[in-house]
Structure 1
Amino acid sequence: MLESKLTKIHRAEVVGSLLRSEALKEARRAVAENEISAREFKRREDRAIDDAVEIQESAGLDNITDGELRRSFFCDHIVTALDSVSEIEAPPLDLFHVVTGERVRMGMPVTVTGKIAGKRMLSTEEFSYLRSRSTVPLKATLSSPITLNYLWNPAYTTEYYSDPYDLFRDAAQILRNEALELARLGCEYIQIDAPELIQVLADDASWQRWLRLDLQPERVIPEAVEIINSVAEPIPGVTFGLHVCRANATNMAIASGGYGNFVSKLVPRATNFSNLLLEYDDERSGDFAPLAEIPDDRKIVLGLVSTKRGQLESQEELRTRINEAAKYTGIDRLALSTQCGFASMESGNDLTMAQQANKLRLVVDTSREVWP
């Protein structure tokens, strides 16, 4: 069991990505079309990250990220930073718009077509630059190795990986090396984003998709958790957090369903994670009752503030929901965050920069009221 780190709780957390400015989007287009040099693009990218730091520091967050602004997608670690990933569309996902209910099918634009290997470490550049720009506690984000399920295409991948869990294990070793390098650079908080876990454990449609692709969802509890745990093997001075959500790309979601199976069957096995960042912004996430089963040495970050909607929640509403959750956990090991990042994809969710800033300040202001 993990040693309790409750004395180091950050009450107001940021999950990861922030909206990209129009200037950054234009710079990315310009470098792709050879209108500016790579060096000039990096200067403009750095300026965008400076702005992201200022937004988070001005809000007063207890920890900050670089906004994942160097990424085009939250899991660029597996889309652009691995060898043997080819531009072949993976089998599509069935998504639904969280506001309108509109349904679309969308697949990742790439597929695993060989034995994977890391060709660069994306997060080390992110963290090294961020470290030079802020004295606020910093957080690095890595994708779960199981995220590669989105790039699994039986027509191509099985030639190299007859067992999908062998693919996940190879990815875990690559990500473990990245975690070790982050620690060497001074990173003290690493968040692993594993949206696929709650999707397959809470939603039957996601479970059925895994079955159709022979991803063997029945192995998620005994094996996938062990694989993710291997990325977060204890490193002195480093806290590991596990974040799950039901998808967050341009106001679209993949799954609905509560935390029952996740908490009762998976969390007890995720022994290397002291922080759990849980999406709880609407009815898709179920109620707080499953939180009662979470071991006492885990910090629970409630993702109550939506990054999918511009409408600002009220402090009173958030305080009420925090107190409701505290009936199952006690108040001392809870914290508050947005339910996910604001831009899992570069296009971002349907919010303005001003609305994003207001949401971040709301997280801070509410946490100061609840935990003065």
Structure 2
Amino acid sequence: MTTTKNKIGFQHVGSFLRPDVLKQARKDYFNNEITQQELTTIENESIKDLVQKEAAVGLDYATDGEFRRSYWHLDFFWGLDGVDHVHYGEGYQFAHEETRDDTAILSGKVKFNPNHPFIKDFEFLKSVTDELDLQPKQTIPAPSQLYIELIRGVNADKVKNYYPNLEDLYLDIEKAYHDAILAFYDKGARVIQLDDCSWGLFLDEKFLNTPDGKAYADSGIQDILLNLNNKAIENLPDDLTINTHVCRGNYHSDFAFSGGYGPVADTLFAKENVDSYFLEYDSSRAGNFEPLAKVSGDKNVVLGLLTTKSGELEDRQTIIDRIKEASNYLPLDRLWLSTQCGFASTEEGNVLTEQQEWDKLKLVKSIQDEVWN
């Protein structure tokens, strides 16, 4: 059994397609047709069923599928003190469609709230995984992602109101995240994943060739993002694993950015102090494996070679060959395999069926067993 398998086990990036009963319950709740308690009961039952399916497919770590969230990132932000839920007026423009227009803006100083709903949500997940002898995995958006949202366009006007000195904002984001991570740890979390699309802006040549893109790339913001993430995860318990997942957008099977990891490798791969990187590598948009040579120390890379944007199963030998190719840049015992992203980064979900998502995970597991056992 390889070192990588011992360290990582079989885990999914995070989100799963919402079952129809849960989708209907959320609609009914927002239409004031059921109570919060009735919605929570349906969420609980849906999560119990999901975790049982995760166990059945062989996962060592289980998530709650992000079933209580609308978005992979915004719901966490809204639970912090000093952050409000508003409508931006327009969504993010992906390659083929526009997202909903929810966003997060400042309404005060950023601070972790001990009553953040994600803490209670994790407690419930752990109660379910304990019964099935699984480990719970908590996913949250990275500190860098919060910063990117807060300075997005007109949102930045609010930042100026509360933080005339940006250094104070950095410190508050770092502390809020550090406190949140310790709160999860105190409830039994031992694997926390920081989901991070903020680096995608540096990868897309089309964007970088625009005046705004050139200014952004030359702004020194990579160092800001790196420091936010690293300071947030400083001085944590030794038995807590912090991973990160980096992709180029995942909304209703659409993507936001294209481009290889080269422009961020010297910062993200060489200097971010995480244990493992879950990386999108399911299409030519992700570039080649050469940037993996910049992954420093003994950090691992989980190759996201199977797409969640389509239900079509990948060719098994093609995946195995790509793993072998990646091992030219990072040793095989520091590589692992997953899907490139979750199946439903937002509640809309990607365009595939529930059966297809489980078939994807079965293929991941069987290739892991063949390549690394």
With the length of structure 2 as denominator, give the TM-score of the two structures. 0.88
Task: Determine the structure 2 residue equivalent to 1:114.
Answer: 107
Residue 300 of structure 1 aligns with an amino acid whose one-letter code is: V
Residues matched between the structures, number: 360
Contact (CA 8 Å) 1:111, 1:157: kept in 2 or not?
no
Deviates more, 1:230-239 or 1:73-82: 73-82
Q: Aligned to 1:247, what secondary structure does the other structure show?
A: coil
Q: Alignment RMSD, CA only?
A: 2.5
Contact (CA 8 Å) 1:145, 1:169: kept in 2 or not?
no
Contact (CA 8 Å) 2:141, 2:194: kept in 1 or not?
yes
Cα separation, 2, equivalents of 1:11 and 1:105: 36
Task: Determine the structure 2 residue equivalent to 1:303.
Answer: 304
Cα separation, 2, equivalents of 1:65 and 1:370: 25
Task: Determine the structure 2 residue equivalent to 1:243.
Answer: 245
Unaligned runs of 5+ in 1: 97-101
Cα separation, 1, equivalents of 2:120 and 2:342: 20
With the length of structure 1 as denominator, give the TM-score of the two structures. 0.88
Task: Determine the structure 2 residue equivalent to 1:128.
Answer: 123
Contact (CA 8 Å) 2:17, 2:349: kept in 1 or not?
yes
Q: 1:170 to 1:68 in 2, by over 3 A?
A: same
Task: Determine the structure 2 residue equivalent to 1:99.
Answer: none
Report 1 or 2 for greater relative contact order, CA contacts < 8 Å, sequence distance ≥ 6: 1
For the pair 1:294 / 2:292, whether they are aligned, the reply is no
Q: Trace 1:34-183 onto structure 2 (pairs within 5 A).
A: 34-75=32-73, 76-89=75-88, 92-96=91-95, 102=96, 104-106=97-99, 108-115=101-108, 116-119=110-113, 120-134=115-129, 135-148=133-146, 149-152=148-151, 153-162=155-164, 166-183=168-185
Q: Trace 1:215-364 onto structure 2 (pairs within 5 A).
A: 218-233=219-234, 234-271=236-273, 273-364=274-365
Deviates more, 1:27-36 or 1:244-253: 27-36
Cα separation, 1, equivalents of 2:54 and 2:313: 17
Q: Which whole-Å deviations, capped at 9, do the CAs of 1:13-66 have from their partners, x for residues lacking one?
A: 200111101100111122222222222211110011012102211111232211
Residue 20 of structure 2 aligns with an amino acid whose one-letter code is: E
Cα shift at 1:257: 0.8
Contact (CA 8 Å) 1:81, 1:118: kept in 2 or not?
yes
Q: Aligned to 2:278, what secondary structure does the other structure show?
A: strand
Q: Which whole-Å deviations, capped at 9, do the CAs of 1:253-312 have from their partners, x for residues lacking one?
A: 1111111122223322212x1111111010110011111221240011001111111111
Deviates more, 1:161-170 or 1:47-56: 161-170
Cα separation, 1, equivalents of 2:29 and 2:91: 29
Residue 87 of structure 2 aligns with an amino acid whose one-letter code is: I
Deviates more, 1:165-174 or 1:42-51: 165-174
For the pair 1:13 / 2:15, whether they are aligned, the reply is no
Q: 1:340 to 1:133 in 2, by over 3 A?
A: same
For the pair 1:196 / 2:198, whether they are aligned, the reply is yes
Contact (CA 8 Å) 2:111, 2:175: kept in 1 or not?
no
Q: Aligned to 1:365, what secondary structure does the other structure show?
A: helix
Identity in percent: 31
